[in-house]
Amino acid sequence: MRNHMRDSLAMEEIVQSDDLDWTIARPPRLTQEDYSTYRSREGAAPKMGFTVSRKAVAAFMLEAIEQKKHVRKIVGIAK
């Protein structure tokens, strides 16, 4: 797990150093559940957020792009 975290942090540093608009989504454990609602929190994970559906992550990403939300931010998302 340490290598995974180190690699993720290195990736985030590369993305953050770019001049382009970016949003980094940090989901917890992904599930196959059939819901698209989610909670989000800039800079941290939502409290008591242990899982999120893949469908909800997709909904978050589409909303972030379409509404230009969370530009140049790291966002925790969860159920």
Tens digit of each residue's pLDDT (9 = 90 or more) over 19-67: 999 999 999 999 999 999 999 999 999 999 999 999 999 999 999 999 9
Instruction: Say which amino acid occupies 38.
Output: Y
For 43, phi then psi, to 5°, come to: 85, -5
Three-state DSSP state, 18 = coil
Q: Is 69 helix (H, G, I), strand (E, B) or coil?
A: coil
Query: For residue 3, what pLDDT band results from cuts at 50, 70 and 90?
Result: confident
pTM (2 d.p.): 0.88
Q: Please give the Cα distance from 30 to 44 (Å, whole number).
A: 17
Please give the mean pLDDT across all residues of the chain. Answer: 95
In the predicted model, is pLDDT for residue 1 greater than 70?
Answer: no
pLDDT of residue 5 exceeding 90, the answer is no
What is the SS3 assignment for 20-44? CCCEEEECCEEECCCCCCCEEEECC
